[in-house]
């Protein structure tokens, strides 16, 4: 059973496949590098949900496969919810995690610890020839003052989740991160929907 994920991020593809396999053990998630090249849409929507749908619709049109897409980002209270939908390209093009993290630290340099609250937000879209579905997830926490950890990607090295204080999400095991992450929540909500639509047996 194959679905397409509109992403080149190998870690994100692996994460999505790992969580979906809790419901669909035989599922294979293909990324952009696994299919014929097509023109990706510009992510110009003002919401995570809008961008996720945009990417999933384009994926279905280009590949003919049921398509998943997610849009996620870090929303920092002291920055009025930014970088938000601009998270991946916060420091400009080309996208660069290390540069984004440096910029975020610079922007929060004078912000006291008690005001460094933030949350990760994720929207997952599933587009099938017969329907479209959306789910979402949130992971509340705070931005720390220095890069820590080698796991995850993006802003994980700067984010401590409220559910795992003292460790950045880049310092968590994959299983611990999946259990609390914004993408984990959104995917666990989406997995039974995908199972039902694709005709899988669902969890035992």
Query: Strand, coil or helix: what is 190?
Result: helix
The verdict on whether residue 10 carries a ligand-binding annotation is yes
Catalytic residue among 34, 71, 106, 176: 71
Stated as kind and residue range, the H or E segment containing 76 is strand 67-76
The verdict on whether residue 183 carries a ligand-binding annotation is yes
The verdict on whether residue 11 carries a ligand-binding annotation is yes
Q: Is 71 a catalytic residue?
A: yes
The verdict on whether residue 72 carries a ligand-binding annotation is yes
DSSP, residue by residue, 89-139: GTT-SSP-HHHHHHHHHHHTTTS-GGG-EEEEEEEEEEEETTEEEEEEEEE
The verdict on whether residue 177 carries a ligand-binding annotation is yes
The verdict on whether residue 2 carries a ligand-binding annotation is no
The verdict on whether residue 77 carries a ligand-binding annotation is no
Core vs surface per residue 81-95: b (16+ CB within 10 A) or e: ebbbbebbebbeeee
User: Phi, psi (5° rounding) for residue 192?
Assistant: -65, -30
Rounded to whole angstroms, the Cα distance separating 100 from 128 reads: 34
The verdict on whether residue 9 carries a ligand-binding annotation is yes
The verdict on whether residue 115 carries a ligand-binding annotation is no
Which burial class, exposed, middle or buried, applies to 204 when counting CB atoms under 10 A from its CB (0-12, 13-18, 19+)? exposed
Rounded to whole angstroms, the Cα distance separating 29 from 22 reads: 13
The verdict on whether residue 153 carries a ligand-binding annotation is yes
The verdict on whether residue 155 carries a ligand-binding annotation is yes
Active site positions, annotated: 71
Can you say which residues are annotated as belonging to the binding site for Mg(2+)? 71
Can you say which residues are annotated as belonging to the binding site? 7-12, 71-72, 153-156, 177, 182-183
Can you say which residues are annotated as belonging to the binding site for substrate? 7-12, 72, 153-156, 177, 182-183
């Amino acid at each position: 059973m194959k679905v397409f994920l509109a992403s080149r991020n190998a870690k994100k593809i692996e994460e999505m496949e790992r969580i979906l396999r809790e419901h669909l053990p035989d599922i294979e998630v293909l990324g952009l590098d696994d299919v014929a090249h097509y023109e990706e849409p510009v992510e110009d929507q003002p919401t995570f949900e809008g961008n996720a749908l945009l990417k999933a619709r384009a994926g279905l049109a280009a590949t003919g496969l049921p398509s998943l897409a997610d849009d996620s980002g870090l929303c920092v209270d002291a920055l009025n919810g930014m970088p938000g939908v601009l998270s991946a390209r916060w420091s400009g093009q080309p996208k660069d995690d290390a540069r984004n993290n440096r910029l975020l630290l610079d922007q929060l340099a004078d912000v006291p610890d008690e005001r460094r609250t933030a949350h990760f937000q994720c929207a997952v879209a599933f587009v099938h020839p017969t329907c479209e579905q959306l789910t979402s997830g949130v992971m509340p926490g705070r931005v720390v003052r220095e890069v820590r950890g080698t796991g995850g990607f993006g802003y994980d090295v700067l984010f401590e989740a409220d559910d795992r204080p003292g460790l950045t999400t880049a310092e968590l095991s994959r299983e611990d991160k999946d259990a609390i992450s914004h993408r984990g929540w959104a995917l666990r909500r989406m997995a039974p929907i995908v199972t039902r639509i694709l005709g899988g047996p669902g969890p035992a």
